[in-house]
């Protein structure tokens, strides 16, 4: 039980108590403000460092060829030989290339992550442009009525993409032991629609028994992905060094 107080003293104590509770409220307010400022500073810092982080990382769009719906409403699987489908094999190579590129510090995005994609061919190039990617890499396998046709071709459309096509052609034929059929220009939709560096790789002939057998082997597909990623990395490092010289 509290001792009784003089009415005058009571007022003073009440005022003091009020002041104290006022001070307490201010303290809480300051504490909340301080915490908010700390969080804000951390958020700004994180946002900035994320921006710089993304800016430095090269971006690749890895296009697993085919997998779009045709006008007949069926999925385009590309070439099909010896029980193998081009769309399945290039999707696997695209995933592996994505991982290898990420391992080299890239941001790599595939145009489909399953059997089909709602993206048309032109959409894929537009998508790459919207992301301001550094490169568009389309993966395909060749096919010919002559079973003996074999080897590697890298296609490009814009003249300025020739050095990139040649670098890929050289590295892939050397390191995978594929016959070098040389680079070629072709008005493929994904190349013509792409305002950024774009190449289309025909990584051997699925219609050729020997090459189909190699493509069916996950080890070969993994090696192909490594060579693709390393060649793209070699290209971007040279490109960025040149840009710095300017
Ligand atoms: Zn194809």
Tens digits of per-residue pLDDT, 16-58? 666 666 767 777 666 666 655 555 444 544 544 454 445 689 9
- Give the pLDDT confidence score for residue 16 in this predicted structure: 62
Q: 138 pairs with which residues across the strands? A: 63, 200
List, as ranges, residues with CB under 5 A of the ion ligand 1. 65, 78, 140
Of 22, 39, 56, the residue at which a domain comes to its end is 56
Ligand 1 centroid from CA 38, angstroms: 53
Ligand 1 centroid from CA 157, angstroms: 16
Does this model's pTM top 0.75? My answer is yes
Domain of residue 8: give its range.
Answer: 1-56
The model's confidence at residue 2, banded by pLDDT at 50, 70 and 90, is: very low
Ligand 1 centroid from CA 49, angstroms: 40
Q: How much of the chain, in percent, has pLDDT values that exceed 70?
A: 78
* Domain co-membership, 65 together with 117: yes
Q: How much of the chain, in percent, has pLDDT values that exceed 90?
A: 61
- Give the pLDDT confidence score for residue 13 in this predicted structure: 54
pLDDT (tens digit per residue) in 146-159: 999 999 999 999 99
As a residue count, the chain comes to 246
Ligand 1 centroid from CA 203, angstroms: 10
Of the listed ranges 31-45, 95-109, 220-234, the least confidently predicted one is 31-45
* Domain co-membership, 83 together with 114: yes
Residue 65: burial class (beta carbons within 10 Å; 0-12, 13-18, 19+): buried
Ligand 1 centroid from CA 78, angstroms: 5
Ligand 1 centroid from CA 19, angstroms: 79
Structure-model confidence comparison of residues 229 and 24, the more confident one? 229
Ligand 1 centroid from CA 139, angstroms: 7
Return the sign of the alpha-carbon dihedral for residues 226, 229, 231, 233: negative
* Domain co-membership, 88 together with 32: no
* Domain co-membership, 43 together with 62: no
* Domain co-membership, 113 together with 170: yes
> Which CATH number belongs to the domain containing residue 175 in this structure?
3.40.630.40
* Domain co-membership, 45 together with 63: no
* Domain co-membership, 95 together with 168: yes
First-residue to last-residue Cα distance in the chain: 85
Ligand 1 centroid from CA 206, angstroms: 10
Torsion angle of the four alpha carbons 220, 118, 129, 155, in this order, in degrees rounded to the nearest 10? 40
Is the confidence at residue 216, as pLDDT, over 80? yes
* Domain co-membership, 216 together with 110: yes
Structure-model confidence comparison of residues 24 and 140, the more confident one? 140
- Cα R_g (the chain), whole angstroms: 30
Ligand 1 centroid from CA 140, angstroms: 4
Of 29, 56, 83, the residue at which a domain comes to its end is 56
């Amino acid at each position: 039980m509290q001792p009784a107080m003089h009415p005058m003293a009571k007022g003073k104590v009440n005022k003091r108590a009020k002041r104290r509770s006022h001070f307490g409220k201010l303290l809480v307010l300051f504490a909340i403000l301080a915490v908010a400022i700390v969080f804000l500073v951390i958020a700004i810092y994180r946002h900035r460092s994320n921006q710089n982080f993304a800016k430095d990382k090269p971006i690749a769009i890895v296009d697993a060829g085919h997998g779009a719906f045709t006008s007949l409403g069926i999925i385009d699987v590309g070439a099909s030989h010896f029980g193998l489908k081009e769309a399945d094999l290039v999707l696997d190579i695209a995933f592996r290339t994505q991982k290898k590129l990420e391992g080299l510090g890239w941001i790599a995005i595939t145009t489909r992550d399953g059997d089909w994609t709602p993206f048309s061919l032109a959409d894929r190039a537009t998508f790459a442009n919207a992301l301001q990617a550094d490169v568009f890499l389309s993966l395909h396998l060749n096919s010919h009525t002559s079973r003996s046709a074999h080897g590697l071709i890298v296609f490009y459309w814009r003249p300025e993409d020739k050095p990139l096509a040649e670098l890929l052609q050289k590295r892939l034929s050397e390191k995978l032991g594929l016959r070098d059929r040389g680079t070629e220009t072709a008005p493929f939709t994904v190349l013509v629609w792409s305002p950024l560096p774009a190449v289309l790789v025909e990584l051997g002939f699925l219609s050729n028994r020997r090459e189909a057998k190699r493509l069916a082997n996950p080890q070969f597909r993994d090696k192909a992905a490594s060579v693709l990623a390393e060649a793209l990395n070699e290209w971007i490092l040279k490109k960025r060094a040149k840009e710095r010289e300017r």
